[in-house]
Amino acid sequence: MTNENFLHSTLTGAILKAFYKVYNTLGYGFLEKVYENAMMIELDNMFFHVVQQQPIKVFYEEQVIGKYFADLLVENKVIVELKACKTLAPEHEAQLLNYLRATEIEVGLLLNFGEEPKHRRLIMTNDKKIF
C-alpha cells in the first residue's frame, strides 16, 4: 500500500463507524437528507467539525462556471457524498472525484444508504490536480 491509501485513514474510519451506526439505526428507505442530518448529529457527537452543504466552486480559466454542494465536509479534510439508491453507479464516483478535483480536499467518501450499506473511499492528491 502506498502512503496515499493511509491519507486521513483514522478520520475516514471514524466516519464509516458513524455511517454504519446511522444505517443500523435508521435502516433503508429514507431520503438522502434524512441520512445527511443523522450523519451530522452522529459526527457532531464524535466531536468532529462538520459542515453541511459546503459550496464548491468550479473554475474555468479563472472564472467561476458552476457551484456544487458537498453533502458533508468533515474536519476540512474529507468530502462525504451521500446516496440513498439501489446501487452505486459510476456517475456517483465521478461526481465525488470532480468535487475532489475542484478543491484542495484529497479524500472523499461515497456512502450509500441503499438496501445494503455500501461505501467507496476515493483519493485524488493535490499533486495530481491542476488548480
Q: Which tens digit of pLDDT belongs to each residue from 80-129?
A: 999 999 999 999 999 999 999 999 999 999 999 999 999 999 999 988 77
Cα dihedral 59, 72, 109, 95 in deg (nearest 10): -40
Domain 9-128 is of which CATH architecture?
3-Layer(aba) Sandwich (3.40)
73: exposed, middle or buried (Cβ count in 10 Å: 0-12, 13-18, 19+): buried
Is the pTM of the predicted complex or chain greater than 0.85?
A: yes
Domain ranges of the chain: 9-128
122: its cell numbers: 476515493
